[in-house]
A and B are shown apart, each in its own frame.
Chain A
Amino acid sequence: MAATEAIPTTVWRTNPVAALWSTMVGKKVVMAVTGAVLVAFVIGHMLGNLKIFLGAEAIDTYAVFLRTMGEPLVPYSVLLWVVRIVLLTCVALHITAAVQLTRMNWAARPESYDTKQSIATTYAARTTRWSGVILVLFIVYHLLHLTAGRVGFRAGEFQHLSVYHNVVTGFSVWYVALFYVVAMACLCLHLDHGIWSALQTLGWNDARSTPLFRALSRVTALAVFLGFISVPVAVLAGWVR
């Protein structure tokens, strides 16, 4: 058995998740699953934001609802914290896998081409890593901004649970609003490639459904983009004040 002795063997884990995590394909599966959770959140969040067009009352009540949901079974804001922890875990796993896979991909092509043409790939696909990096920065800023009120507001301006007031005040600063729009453009690019990519990584497509999934991906990305930017744009335009 000299021939096989030269090839190292390894024990494949019995735990399916551990087994998956030990392969590159499996790490992508983790990215797809955590990405799907984040996409679901983003769509829900976008729809929630639209309540601002129904008036201060509607969105402020909604913010209270997010904290009282599940009562009296679960105490005030516990369910919200569960969701927050799940989301942060997903973000952490998504990024860990992304960093590891990116390093492996870079290692796989140490010498780059002198002349190389891209034929099939898209701008969104080529920039996923970078739109992802910008999104992380955005999430940090956004949590400090509209959740914590630590940045982007003058002292005393931010009022906990007065979402309407906070959003209008926050986006009255044009460069803050602009940053949100730019970040949402990155989100749009990220999702345009990300959604169908996740479906392909999970192996749910076949020759017939691939174009459909690609279209679904693009439509969702654009809908999320337009839904999100409608708020800062409306504030800047003075439609919401």
Chain B
Amino acid sequence: MKLSLRIWRQKDRNTPGRFVSYEVDGVTPDMSFLEMLDVLNEDLTTRGEEPVAFEHDCREGICGSCGFLIDGVPHGPRRHTTVCQLHMRFFKGGDSLTLEPWRARAFPVVRDLVVDRSAFDRIIQAGGYISAPTGSAPDANAILVPKEAADTAFDAAACIGCGACVASCPNAAAMLFTAAKVAHLNSLPQGQPERDERTLNMVAAMGREVFGTCSNHGECEAVCPKGIPLEFIAALNRDVIRAAFRRRREPLHVIGAAQHPAHEDVCESNSAQKESST
């Protein structure tokens, strides 16, 4: 079958981009969406044009590299499906589709459909770890994990960090991603010693990376390829409240002041404290 594509082309971070229209022929129903783009790119290369840049790695829906908007929906029209696992049988010959990269201040476009998602890495760095003794492997049953806790942690750990939640959110919030990462460790016994610090650190990092905030629209849940539910955000909110009320001993030094540009007027006191703490 034959498709018309309207694709965002952008040379690099600093060059303004624009939409360019292409026709792809010879698309078969068993191709994935990315394989369809491979066909387009081969055609472009033989014509001496620049191929369309898009991110991909595993092509089996588990690495979180791929992702862009197809007709205004992150990862396209199929629920719980990454673009690499989205097959062309869900489209009709003659369809015209618009492909657009994630748009968020925290995710600058690097080229065409590729955005820089290292803001997510920095949120994970801020608290996505536990402290554990190293050395010989402990007995598997040395720490008992309740079945419910293990299941919750496992559900949360399904997040592949693709960024579709941010892309779909009207506020470009990273709450679903951060909630999943926080819940992953906060629900396990191994995560308890650093629980409150982790919550506060990761939430502060989210603000520092200039993500927006949650208005409970639920768009993230609807497009998440891993079906991370909105209730994880409720759990994160609960943990933030818990952390704020349990910190009554000494002031906690957390990495990352709120440095949101729109924060500047409201968080002067924060930056003042930052100075005194360094």
Chain A residues in contact with chain B, CB under 8 A? 4, 7-14, 16-17, 19-20, 22-29, 100-101, 103-121, 125-126, 128, 193, 196-197, 200-207, 210
Chain A CB within 8 A of B47 CB? no
Contact B251 A11 (CB under 8 A): yes
Given known pairs A105-B213, A108-B210, the reply for A203 and B238 (CB within 8 Å) is yes
User: Interface with A: B36-44, B80-88, B184-192, B214-222, which one?
Assistant: B214-222
Contact A108 B211 (CB under 8 A): yes
Contact A119 B244 (CB under 8 A): no
Q: Can you pick out 8 interface pairs between chain A and chain B where the beta carbons lie within 8 Å of each other?
A: A10-B258, A11-B277, A16-B244, A16-B247, A16-B248, A24-B203, A109-B212, A120-B222
Given known pairs A24-B206, A121-B217, the reply for A200 and B237 (CB within 8 Å) is yes
Contact B222 A20 (CB under 8 A): no
Contact A8 B231 (CB under 8 A): no
Cα of A8 to Cα of B204 in the assembled complex, Å: 11
A residues within 8 A CB of B241?
A: 20, 29, 202-203
Specify the chain B residue showing the minimal Cβ separation from A210.
B231
Cα of A105 to Cα of B210 in the assembled complex, Å: 9
Given known pairs A27-B213, A115-B72, the reply for A8 and B207 (CB within 8 Å) is no
Contact B217 A8 (CB under 8 A): no
Cα of A105 to Cα of B173 in the assembled complex, Å: 8
A residues within 8 A CB of B234?
A: 200, 203-206
A residues within 8 A CB of B267?
A: 22
Contact B261 A207 (CB under 8 A): no
Specify the chain B residue showing the minimal Cβ separation from A197.
B216
CB B10 to nearest CB in A, in angstroms, measures 11
Chain A CB within 8 A of B116 CB? no
Chain A CB within 8 A of B159 CB? no
CB A212 to nearest CB in B, in angstroms, measures 13
Given known pairs A119-B222, A121-B218, the reply for A109 and B213 (CB within 8 Å) is no
Contact A9 B277 (CB under 8 A): yes
Contact A115 B171 (CB under 8 A): no
B residues within 8 A CB of A19?
A: 200, 244, 247
Chain A CB within 8 A of B253 CB? yes
Cα of A121 to Cα of B255 in the assembled complex, Å: 33
User: Interface with A: B21-29, B96-104, B129-137, which one?
Assistant: B96-104
Name the residue in A104, A196, A204 with the highest tally of chain B Cβ atoms < 10 Å from its Cβ.
A104
Name the residue in A126, A128, A200 with the highest tally of chain B Cβ atoms < 10 Å from its Cβ.
A200
A residues within 8 A CB of B210?
A: 107-108
Contact A20 B244 (CB under 8 A): yes
Given known pairs A24-B207, A109-B104, A121-B218, the reply for A8 and B255 (CB within 8 Å) is yes
Cα of A28 to Cα of B236 in the assembled complex, Å: 13
Instruction: Report the number of A-B residue pairs with Cβ-Cβ less than 8 Å.
Output: 207
Given known pairs A24-B213, A109-B104, A210-B230, the reply for A201 and B237 (CB within 8 Å) is yes
Cα of A14 to Cα of B250 in the assembled complex, Å: 7
Chain A CB within 8 A of B143 CB? no
Chain A CB within 8 A of B260 CB? yes
Given known pairs A4-B255, A10-B253, A115-B100, the reply for A108 and B231 (CB within 8 Å) is no
Name the residue in A28, A105, A112, A205 with the highest tally of chain B Cβ atoms < 10 Å from its Cβ.
A105
Contact A25 B213 (CB under 8 A): yes
CB A129 to nearest CB in B, in angstroms, measures 9
A residues within 8 A CB of B72?
A: 113, 115-117
Cα of A108 to Cα of B123 in the assembled complex, Å: 16
Contact B213 A101 (CB under 8 A): yes
A residues within 8 A CB of B114?
A: none
Given known pairs A117-B71, A193-B216, the reply for A10 and B273 (CB within 8 Å) is yes
Contact A108 B240 (CB under 8 A): no
CB A199 to nearest CB in B, in angstroms, measures 8
Contact B213 A9 (CB under 8 A): no
Cα of A158 to Cα of B250 in the assembled complex, Å: 58
Tell me which of A7, A25, A105, A126 contacts B236 (CB under 8 A).
A25
Contact A104 B260 (CB under 8 A): yes
A residues within 8 A CB of B206?
A: 24
A residues within 8 A CB of B8?
A: 114
Given known pairs A19-B244, A105-B172, A120-B221, the reply for A12 and B254 (CB within 8 Å) is yes
Given known pairs A108-B104, A115-B71, A116-B69, the reply for A8 and B259 (CB within 8 Å) is yes
Contact B172 A13 (CB under 8 A): no
Cα of A205 to Cα of B171 in the assembled complex, Å: 22
CB A121 to nearest CB in B, in angstroms, measures 4
CB A195 to nearest CB in B, in angstroms, measures 11
Contact A120 B218 (CB under 8 A): yes
CB B192 to nearest CB in A, in angstroms, measures 18
Contact A20 B105 (CB under 8 A): no
